[in-house]
């Protein structure tokens, strides 16, 4: 198992570097940061996929995790983590815990991760998995991601792991001045854009499109924020 995991991890990291080289004209960088690549190398992706898909755990593509949700392509996990520009003393909000894989990567890059998952079954599995694997600086709740987690705001970074039809205002409000929000925006089965919203020290925001992506839709538990579907 160890040999298989190590070889799979090496191939995954090589695929990430190849994707960065291929998309560098869009993402504006030749390499991802060393802390991000180290974090990617330390999180065992095979622990975050269903048992029948473990053989494909380190492939550079998304995989289903049940309930209509997926674990994202490793390159996209690495890129979104990199775009946050995190420091070890910072606090991050993740919208869409899913399997907990992105959560685990973030936990190695910052001080604390707060994560919100709308599907109760996925939230329960992620809590138990992250606890079993020893990720102790992570706090999870089951809730509506469109509303964020205001009790612990503001956040140095916010990451959304499913596509919203627009950028939720609540997330912008919960972003700390100087912070960054990374979010895929667009409708299902149509073009989506990975966006970065940077908030300056005065509270003004600047939005940048990074590249085209394909994510499952961000589920709105209340039905109040699903305009555009």
| Catalytic-labelled residue, pool 4, 7, 41, 72 | 72
Any catalytic annotation for residue 115? no
Q: Which residues contact 146 (CB under 8 A, 6 or more apart)?
A: 164, 168, 170, 171, 218, 220, 222, 224, 225
What are phi and psi for residue 175, nearest 5 degrees? -85, 130
Catalytic residue numbers, as ranges: 72
């Amino acid at each position: 198992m160890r040999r298989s995991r190590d070889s799979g991890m090496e191939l995954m990291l090589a695929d990430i570097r190849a994707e960065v080289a291929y998309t560098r004209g869009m993402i504006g960088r030749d390499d991802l940061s060393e802390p991000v690549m180290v974090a990617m190398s330390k999180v065992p992706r095979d622990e975050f996929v269903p048992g029948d898909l473990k053989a494909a755990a380190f492939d550079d593509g998304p995989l289903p995790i049940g309930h209509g949700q997926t674990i994202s392509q490793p390159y996209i996990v690495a890129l979104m983590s990199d775009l946050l520009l995190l420091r070890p003393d910072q606090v991050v909000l993740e919208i869409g815990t899913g399997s907990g894989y992105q959560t685990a990567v973030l936990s190695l890059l910052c001080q604390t991760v707060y994560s919100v998952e709308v599907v109760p079954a996925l939230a329960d599995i992620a809590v138990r998995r992250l606890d079993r694997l020893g990720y102790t600086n992570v706090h999870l709740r089951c809730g509506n991601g469109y509303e964020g987690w205001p009790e612990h705001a503001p956040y140095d970074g916010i990451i959304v792991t499913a596509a919203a039809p627009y950028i939720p205002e609540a997330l912008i409000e919960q972003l700390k001045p100087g912070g960054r929000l990374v979010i895929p925006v667009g409708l299902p089965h149509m073009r989506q854009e990975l966006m970065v919203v940077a908030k300056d020290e005065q509270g003004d925001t600047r939005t940048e499109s990074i590249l085209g992506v394909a994510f499952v839709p961000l589920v709105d538990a209340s039905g109040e924020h699903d305009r555009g579907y």
